[in-house]
Amino acid sequence: MAAAPFKQYRSPESSQEVVELLTRYGEAAVLLAGGTFLHGLAARGLMSKMEALISLQKAGLDYVKPQGGSLTIGAMATFRELLDASPVKGRPELGAIADALEYPPPQILNAATVGGSTASAYPLFDLPVALIALGGAVVAQGPGGRREIKLEQFFLDYFRHALGKGEFLAEVIVPKLPDRSASAFLKLETNANDLALLNVGVRVTIDEEGLCRGAVVAFGGGIGGVPVRAATCETYLEGSRLSAKLLDESAQAVTHDVHPISDHRASARYRATAAKVLARRALIRALARLGLEFG
């Protein structure tokens, strides 16, 4: 693998300085967050024209904090910092985050960043799918200031996102979720270091009468260039009294919206079958966090 022809290395100390450098270098700049996927981009020929490497290490973006009922995650917060953050631990509504971060090995857990894994726009990654299930959004900062983009609109295709010229992903925001909400995440992989063959993030909200008042079922992995919502599955759940039978029926319905691909690792047929199993298991895991057991 040939090294990228970087001529400049910059380490800005503020978000504003990051924007100024991105404006100066334009499409010839690449941002360095945790750096764990830099080799992957180079191997795919996506850095051959890059001239400036801009590190975010000193830009003051390594935080995880509650803010106005939401959870605000700086782009440079590592997976480990997010997993260990007190606003995340033990909260059933954020269970999908903890689940997704059970999979990376220690080397990735300690170095990879929330912003880097999201801004890469690589649909085989895990955490972005968990964040979609939680209604997450990114904060883009650029020459025109800051703007919020829902994650479902942020991803456009393989390695393509909705950031404009001079913009970078500064934060990820998880909104305050309704009471009696819980989430979960599951991944299908071939080994402990593998990218997802398929993954799923789910969130459910149950009212005091036991009715489902909100559901999100989002898939990533081998389903194409962007994560997708299983809207038909969600419709089965919303407004219904949950039962083992209903969970089975809703999981079967994911095939209406989730159309996996075939590649050298798995066939579309295999992934489609696995999607139904993963959806049901993830929903059961989320509901168990609310004290509801469906076996």
> Can you give the pLDDT at residue 42?
67
pLDDT at res. 52: 83
Cα 177 from chain centroid? 17
The domain ranges of the chain are: 8-54, 64-174, 181-288
Sign of CA dihedral 18, 21, 22, 23: positive
Beta carbons of 124 and 87 less than 8 angstroms apart: no
Residue 145 has pLDDT above 80, yes or no: yes
Distances (CA, A) of 166 to 34, 145, 199, 268: 20, 10, 32, 38
In this structure, of 68-82, 183-197, 272-286, the range with the lowest mean pLDDT score is 183-197
What pLDDT is stored for residue 119 in this prediction?
Answer: 94
Number of H helices, E strands in the chain: 11, 14
pLDDT of residue 223: 93
CA 98, CA 92: separation in Å to the nearest integer?
Answer: 10
* CATH fold of 181-288: Enolase-like; domain 1 (3.30.390)
Say which range, 27-41, 62-76, 121-135, 181-195, has the weakest mean pLDDT.
27-41
Give tens-digit pLDDT for 11-63. Answer: 999 999 999 999 998 888 888 888 776 766 666 666 667 788 899 999 999 99
pTM for the model: 0.93
DSSP3 helix / strand / coil % (the chain, rounded to 5): 35, 25, 40
**Mind listing the pLDDT tens digit for each residue in 68-95?**
889 999 999 999 999 999 999 999 999 9
| CA 104/CA 128 separation, integer angstroms | 14
64-174 matches 181-288 in fold: no
Do 54 and 32 meet the contact criterion of CB atoms below 8 Å apart? yes
Residue 259: pLDDT band by 50, 70, 90 thresholds? Answer: very high
CATH 2.60.40.10 fits 64-174, yes or no: no
Task: Inform me whether the pLDDT recorded for 270 exceeds 60.
Answer: yes
- Res 103 pLDDT > 80: yes
Q: Tell me what pLDDT residue 1 has.
A: 41
Q: Give the tokens for residue 233.
A: 């599955």
- The percent of residues in the chain predicted with pLDDT above 70, rounded, is 94
Q: What is the mean pLDDT of the chain?
A: 92
